[in-house]
Structure 1
């Protein structure tokens, strides 16, 4: 069999098994034998990125770069290094610079920062420190009280927590219409706790290869455990944990089982990991996820009330040129608007004022007429959700899960 078809077959196999180092190094050797040094160096570089101490990879790299391959010898302590050669004398420096986009550098330091521990760095997952606080969230008094009871109070009072045997483990699911600040609330909880924040969505997990989705989910939970205390936010949890009775794909059912195992701490200690989930359709979430010890607390996040709408409007207008705005009229006319709808309302009013300025050639302020015109165009996005929620509250409120939703709909005379 000629070398090129064999190399093509090995490349296809490597796409399916990217972590198979023996296969990758065997391919690199064949590439070198075929005179395809640049491709060989790329493969060896990826192997060294996974296993920097691999002797075979180091030998192949020496061969690819034109240096002598190290002779096999019994392992022995290395002598103290001599003075490093000048950059111009280093035979690998020119190759490193030329192949910087393919082969990772041998050494990378930033000032006096300590090097990360191998295997501990969260290079893929965006673990961040949240600067948002609950005081930055307008309104939502009942939601804030529930969060204080579930998470923040026990964290601030460790002695009482130990006395009452309150664990820091646990989960809470936020549900409500889209655009009402569920993600913002989760960031505010992390900021209030001084904890790290890690957001997880379906695109971070799903993979086309069998078993990789479950591994990705496990690695995301591991990243949260390493960074505890950490708020792990499961965005659109209904996509990850849809009702297994309604899922036809066996891979999605397996992924749902993996999520349950991670929440139970069967794959690791979840102490200090606070799981917050958000969904617009809690009735599509698998009931097993709401079992005690998992996402056992459910909180309704409603469209902003009048006080919250005023705060949101002021926030989105604060850096725009405005004049003679009657905020009370706008607040009264924007019932059922979500936070995202109110932001879009301000953006639309600004567009009207800017278009008028372009036509007339004279810059003018954003006025009440612009907001009133925007109110005729922008419709609240929460109403379709409220219609669906009304049916759920009437016919699918098993066990009183949606009692708070029923109370809200009755208060609004929608039920």
Structure 2
């Protein structure tokens, strides 16, 4: 290896003063590579890639340097050897000077650092010693940090893991394809085992569902006779925790249809146009998998009133949803059943609720007595209980939602667990625990009814919320 030129020494000094200057370091690496110092060039490029992993010039230069540094076969006695990997602190002999052959080399230990000596033939650090290429002595001097000498194989392993920065996407092709989102597939659940019979109580809800969806599906001849299409939309609304999502899955199981659940994060995208494309792809997937139930959860977020929406992208998403429900190609929706759920139907765009779209509205109220008994029995069947009077417990839980009932059973189990831990004696969950938990459980539906009361009194245009008004009068909340 030749001695550093004045230009290389000056560039080393400049790089030490500005270690983050990637172009300057790459310039130094290029000169080192031209001077035959491939190992030093690899070292400089490796540092540059740490500061700029995606730099194309650095990656290309690394490939050149690594290719130039591949160890050659052991040289013959009359041929010059490749430069050694570990360089002494003093300048090494020039590359064009032949080194001593294996036959002429003395058997004494390696010379000290300050004694001039011909370099030993290069041997990879992980290669086994051969008779023609003896293993370098283990007492070689440590690498000099000024020369940048280091183990090139370790550098290759390190640099080999360098990848472009995250979140950098490749540009689209001229026809607009190649977007990573094109490969995304929407998961359609297979028809589940849940049926409406698994939904406790809610007789009126089941009757409405039978008329809207189930009877036309089970009777194709009557459907043709009366001109009933398989397109349809149903909006489930009511207080949170009352089983709207469970009912939607039960409908899909009853129809033997696939189930495609859609939420806000499945549709909305930060890039303009992607939200509309996501909405279109969801319905295209449902059409290919028909019969299929598309369940739009939290519809007030996906289909909010456009008059209250400030961002144009959100308005376009609502427009796309309207087009998919009842656009020019709406006949393609045969076999696609659209169910939507919301806690705030008054915040849903009115165009979504006109005939032909989500034209049927169903109020899902807190579970009635038979439903509460089924829910309590389900949450207690795997727990150690004794002497539980479900009839008494059902009366004590009037007004609680399904989620409240699950929390009640969890709280009763906690009371029995803590009591067993304090006394050291395991005991069963009894009525005392359940009734105490019922007294401490505040109905989570009360804030919703406080808001719905104002809507029922002052914004019931066209009798949209007549079911809600009747319930509030029955409970004497209106």
The corresponding residue for 1:152 is 214
SS in 2 for 1:222: helix
Whole-angstrom CA distance in 1 between matches of 2:346 and 2:378: 33
1:124 matched residue in structure 2: 185
Aligned to 2:333, the other structure's residue is in SS state coil
In the TM superposition, what is the alpha-carbon distance from 1:36 to its structure 2 partner? 6.7
Instruction: State yes or no: 1:182 paired with 2:244.
Output: yes
Q: Offset at 1:279?
A: 0.4
Distance in structure 1 (CA, Å) of the matches to 2:270 and 2:298? 20
CA distance in 2, matches of 1:36, 1:134: 65
Name the structure 1 match of 2:99: none
After superposition, what is the alpha-carbon deviation per residue over 1:95-136, rounded to whole angstroms, capped at 9, x for unaligned?
Answer: xxx99xx9xxxxxxxxxxxxxxxxxx9953221022210000
Report the CA distance shift for 1:30/1:233 in structure 2 as closer, same or farther (over 3 A): farther
What SS is found at the alignment partner of 2:411? helix
Distance 1:194 1:123, change over 3 A: farther
Structure 2 unaligned residues grouped into runs of 5+: 1-21, 27-53, 65-159, 165-181
Name which of 298, 310, 317 aligns with 1:236: 298
- Corresponding position of 2:258: 196
Mapped to 2, the partners of 1:207 and 1:317 lie a distance apart of 42
Cα gap change, 1:31/1:411 in structure 2, threshold over 3 Å: closer, same or farther? farther
Q: Which has the higher helix share?
A: 1
Runs of 4+ in 1 over 6 A off after TM superposition: 1-5, 27-32
Q: 1:387 to 1:35 in 2, by over 3 A?
A: same
- Check conservation: 1:122, 1:223, Cα contact below 8 A: no
Equivalence map 1:335-350=2 (5 Å): 335-350=398-413
* Count of aligned pairs between the two proteins: 316
- Distance 1:232-1:145 versus aligned 2 partners, 3 A rule: same
In structure 2, relative to structure 1, the CA distance for the partners of 1:30 and 1:275 (3 Å cut) is farther
2:108 aligns to what?
none
Q: How big is the shift at 1:152?
A: 0.7
Match for 2:311 among 249, 254, 259? Answer: 249
Aligned match of 1:295 = 358
Which of 267, 279, 291 aligns to 1:217? It is: 279
Shift of 1:267: 5.9
2:431 corresponds in structure 1 to: 368
Matched with 2:458 is: 395
**Pair 371,123 (structure 1): closer, same or farther in 2 beyond 3 Å:** same
Q: 1:266 to 1:34 in 2, by over 3 A?
A: farther
- Aligned counterpart, 1:318: 381
Q: 2: CA distance between counterparts of 1:31 and 1:191?
A: 58
Query: In structure 2, what is the equivalent of residue 413 of structure 1?
Result: 476
Tell me: CA distance 1:272–1:391, structure 2 relative to 1, closer, same or farther (3 Å): same
Counterpart-to-counterpart distance in 2, 1:219 and 1:36: 42
* Secondary structure of residue in 2 paired with 1:128: coil
Instruction: For 2:390 and 2:461, locate their aligned partners in 1 and report how far apart those are by CA, in whole Å.
Output: 41
What's the counterpart of residue 106 of structure 1? none
- Summarize the alignment of residues 134-173 of structure 1 with structure 2, pairs less than 5 Å apart: 134-173=196-235
Shift of 1:222: 1.2
Unmatched runs of 5 consecutive residues or more in structure 1: 6-26, 38-97, 103-120
CA RMSD in angstroms comes to 2.7
Distance 1:409 1:158, change over 3 A: same
Distance 2:453 2:401 in 1: 18
Secondary structure class of the residue paired with 1:203: helix
